[in-house]
Structure 1
């Protein structure tokens, strides 16, 4: 099927489906490790499976590149780092996913690379890094502070230099932005989050326009055994089908709740980038934030995000996020009635 004229919403629903008469409407779960000899596939770790291929086709069409599925979001970061030469220099946001910074920190401790943390809001530092770094790792919006970084400006600055620009697009999703179209080299996703959307799987994705880079990432997946399960790929593709409507509804609720939170006397700051289902709000210290998280009844106090259920977490309790403002609460807005969510928040905020 030619998807050139279809919108991202339509692509999310239609891409990655069997097309021939008599075939199933949905790509089925294909739990297989090995194939009969003589065909296009021999062994799933090296050649993939139909379950992975359908998901990769759909995400690739949405992001505008060649997609590769991994066992988890952090496995995508490991694969990108695996491509770097020893002694490489990496720029990463000071406020960003703790798992990524932990992985870079471990590699730095072992002498594998040098990681430099930059303030997300310092665009001049990012454009300068595009000239000296081997890898510029961006999140936009960032996790958990929801800072927005000008991807195009950084990608433009990297043009003509060695730096590869990688964008973690987990929070924005392919429906919110397409970093490859802005000049990025690689996009990564934790499909565990908004793409899957139901808190029931672990899966990661990389996407790149460069065929050689795509092959290198697939080779890294094979080499490290970071392969997704057939069920997980199936669930991620099923979650993708409803991402447009889930994201629209959750974003509408998030906008409403961000405005209400900004008017509450016990909330000192609200961080909301203007779209998406993620909010961060700050209270007067860790004790107040912990009390709110414990006092909620409808909104779940849990880590991770992007599901149909609303969840909160005070991120500074994690060792990797100890530098995050102590009263900052990350709020993943789900699909519950926004008035019910606000009543729950009001009660907990006191």
Structure 2
């Protein structure tokens, strides 16, 4: 085909075996730790055809070369390993908790310095980029759902000679393509929306910088942050329906956010207008804790991006930033019927709001 494929078609077709007689439509799971010598693979840490299929598909969606990792955190730590001793990393104060914990640990050990910024204050972020080696951000942020002026931040980082990492877990390449905005590296916890069924741990990094990709792969080969072939196969299977799941989750999230805005119990509803994540703020932590115990469909769980709707009070984690409200509940909206989701959530909110006794 002369025209480039659109994202939904790419999600379905990329990373498949060639269209030849007797070829399977889906690539098989290659369960091998050792290969016959003389080729490119040699050993199980260096590559696997099942990883390659997933990497080809996600790379096509993001527009770069993809490397898969054993988990999102394995990808995070591999990227942080690029930072030289004593270098400065700029990161939003509201970011994925595992990223902040990892940065805090590295700073405590004298490996690097971290500057936390308010992502909504673009001027402050741009100023912080001045002597940075790495600028790392999410947009929207987790769980505050703040949106970055990505082009301005990326330009400022590059002017300062810094690399830029964008965590694209929340929006996926269907709603945002950071490499097209100028980012150097895109990070995914493929555990979330990409795999989409709450049954996989997998991470990924995508870049257009071939030299950087080669460095990352060489370190992955040595460090062993490699995914299992079954996990890669499951993630690729999930990727095939990504466009359908994102479309439905986003429609559900937008409708729920609209209805939640009118609920008298809530002090705030945060929805950036894209994706399936919504955050609501209740007056107290106790009320938020009661809410997550009062539903039948909504699952109290810490992950996100699955077909099922889940939620949690984020400050139940001691490492969550103190600037996140105690009563904030992060909602990962799934693909169920929105009326059923609303009925379950609204009765729970009404119950929390109703005076006891």
User: Normalization by structure 1: what TM-score?
Assistant: 0.97
- Equivalent position of 2:99 in the other structure: 100
Confirm whether residue 326 of structure 1 aligns to residue 326 of structure 2: yes
Distance 1:194 1:105 in 2: 27
Alignment of 1:53-68 (within 5 A): 53-68=52-67
**Offset of 1:54 from its aligned partner?**
0.5
**Offset of 1:3 from its aligned partner?**
8.3
1:305-345 deviation digits (Å, cap 9, x = unpaired): 00000000000110111511100000000111111111111
- Equivalent position of 2:344 in the other structure: 344
**Offset of 1:16 from its aligned partner?**
0.3
- Equivalent position of 1:206 in the other structure: 205
For structure 1, list consecutive stretches of 5 or more residues without a partner in the other structure. none
Distance 2:6 2:336 in 1: 27
Sort the Cα spacing of 1:3 and 1:35 in 2 relative to 1 into closer, same or farther, 3 A: farther
**Offset of 1:158 from its aligned partner?**
2.2
Secondary structure in 2 matching 1:30:
coil
Distance 1:110 1:99 in 2: 17
Distance 1:265 1:3 in 2: 54
1:152-174 deviation digits (Å, cap 9, x = unpaired): 11111123432001000000101
For structure 2, list consecutive stretches of 5 or more residues without a partner in the other structure. 351-357
- Equivalent position of 2:309 in the other structure: 310
Distance 1:29 1:133 in 2: 42
**Offset of 1:45 from its aligned partner?**
0.4
In the TM superposition, structure 1's runs of 4+ consecutive aligned residues that sit over 3 Å from their partners are none
Secondary structure in 2 matching 1:238:
helix
Distance 2:269 2:212 in 1: 39
**Offset of 1:131 from its aligned partner?**
2.5
**Offset of 1:4 from its aligned partner?**
5.5
Give the conservation status (yes or no) of the 8 Å contact 2:51–2:232: yes
Distance 2:327 2:2 in 1: 45
- Equivalent position of 1:35 in the other structure: 35
Stretch deviating more after TM superposition (145-154 or 122-131): 122-131
Give the conservation status (yes or no) of the 8 Å contact 2:93–2:321: no
**Offset of 1:97 from its aligned partner?**
0.6
Secondary structure in 2 matching 1:116:
strand
1:259-310 deviation digits (Å, cap 9, x = unpaired): 1111000011000010111000100010110111111111001110000000
Give the conservation status (yes or no) of the 8 Å contact 1:33–1:43: yes
User: Normalization by structure 2: what TM-score?
Assistant: 0.96
**RMSD, aligned CA:** 1.1
- Equivalent position of 1:129 in the other structure: 128
Distance 1:117 1:147 in 2: 14
**Offset of 1:42 from its aligned partner?**
0.3
- Equivalent position of 2:240 in the other structure: 241
Give the conservation status (yes or no) of the 8 Å contact 1:83–1:216: no
